[in-house]
Amino acid sequence: MNDEPVSSLESHFGDLPDPRVVGRCDHKLMDIVIIAICAVLCGAETWEEVEVFGETKEAWLRQFLQLPCGIPAHDTFRRVFSLLDSHAFQERFMGWVESVFQVTRGQVIAIDGKTLRGSHDRANGKKALHLVSAWATANGLSLGQQAVADKSNEIVAIPELLEQLYLRGCIVTIDAMGCQSDIARQIVERKADYVLALKGNQPRLHQDVVEWFEWAQQRDFRDVPHSYHETVNKAHGRIEVRRCWALSDQRAFEVLGHHDGWSKLGSIVMVQRERRLADQVQRETAYFISSLAPDAEHLLSCVRSHWRIENSQHWTLDITLREDDSRLRVGDGAQNFAILRRMALNLLRHHPAKASLKRKRFRAALDDSFLLELLTQV
């Protein structure tokens, strides 16, 4: 038996607590987990499809799995993953990412929420599962996720996720929901920096920053210490212009000083986005606070990097891995399948083959050697 394809997975997931009754299990827990990982890599989107994958690939799977009672039925996969502790699965997923991938230190880590729209159960009063995820923008890696509890919101889930991440030297970017003084303090205490979007959830602070930039613009930033950077991009028949101003004017900080608790506040930032289409021009302005120095070029890069979590993770999970179509609702099944998708996403993105993720999944389903490459590349 060749255990090379699963040695790394077993070393990180082998101690998962088994939720089943001892002595009444026909299948090994690690066999179930590894089959599910392989199946999702190859395009499986339901437990029925995971079972079909296992039955089709049973001879190949027996090269490195024991399978004492053959391939589990789809009901077994569903039951086990609905009972499996999602927190324990998440901890091991995050340890696996840190251990086997070359995670760049000091990069931007984007934090953002995403709702699994198909996971709701209106008949039983169950809302759709909402996850807060961390995305390493330089590596294109999913670092972890945290479920938002019922009758709660992202403000509670974000600190729980941050506590599990290695943040030292990184720059954490969060949208306006996470613009909280306690979250800023937590990031600084973890030896990291922050760039937080500022909107109406902090109305007084937001208004102060808006008014300060309006005053500075009226003066054409004369005698106002600041930095400025502009980018122009042309693609798909449109021109996008982004302009960024960053201030560290002590007079502004004295105004903001009425709002205590913003640890290591280093700059306030205004970003103007202008999109020029053939027949119209769209403009919007966004404001941020940051612990970084007022370097407009660097700060604009951080702001742009944040949106990679939308384009590179959320969009891919919905379009390529069809996450929003998932109807899993029982127990922790939806959260655990979400972890399987993020494992598959990391493995697919990390493989150097120049092909779309969809094509890689299709090739893995057809070509056992390529599937083996995906599993053993790290």
For 323-355, how does the pLDDT look when each residue is reduced to its tens digit (9 = 90+)?
877 777 667 888 999 999 999 999 999 999 999
- pLDDT score at 151: 56
Q: How confident is the model at residue 314 (pLDDT cuts 50, 70, 90)?
A: confident
- pLDDT score at 321: 86
Using the predicted structure, report yes or no on whether residue 103 has a pLDDT greater than 60: yes
Using the predicted structure, report yes or no on whether residue 252 has a pLDDT greater than 80: no
CA dist 59 and 51 (Å) reads: 14
Q: How confident is the model at residue 263 (pLDDT cuts 50, 70, 90)?
A: confident
Q: How confident is the model at residue 90 (pLDDT cuts 50, 70, 90)?
A: very high
Tokens standing for residue 168: 């030292």
- pLDDT score at 99: 85
Tokens standing for residue 273: 């986005």
Q: How confident is the model at residue 259 (pLDDT cuts 50, 70, 90)?
A: low
- pLDDT score at 377: 76
- Render pLDDT for 229-246 as a digit per residue (tens, 0 to 9): 999 988 777 899 999 999
- pLDDT score at 112: 93
What is the torsional sign of CA 322, 323, 327, 330? Answer: positive
Mean pLDDT within 365-378: 90
Q: Shortest CA distance to 172 belongs to which of 191, 149, 153, 154?
A: 191
Q: CB-based contacts of 280: which residues, under 8 Å, 6+ apart?
A: none
Q: How far apart are the first and last CA of the chain?
A: 20
C-alpha triplet 122, 127, 133: angle, nearest 5° = 150
The amino acid present at 303, given as its one-letter code, is V
Q: How confident is the model at residue 2 (pLDDT cuts 50, 70, 90)?
A: low
| Minimum mean pLDDT range among 21-25, 165-169, 256-260 | 256-260
Residue-averaged pLDDT of the chain: 89
Using the predicted structure, report yes or no on whether residue 32 has a pLDDT greater than 80: yes
Name, of 14-23, 71-80, 120-129, 198-207, the range with top average pLDDT.
Answer: 71-80
Q: How confident is the model at residue 42 (pLDDT cuts 50, 70, 90)?
A: very high
CA dist 164 and 192 (Å) reads: 14
- Render pLDDT for 355-364 as a digit per residue (tens, 0 to 9): 999 999 999 9
Neighbours of 27 (CB within 10 A): 21
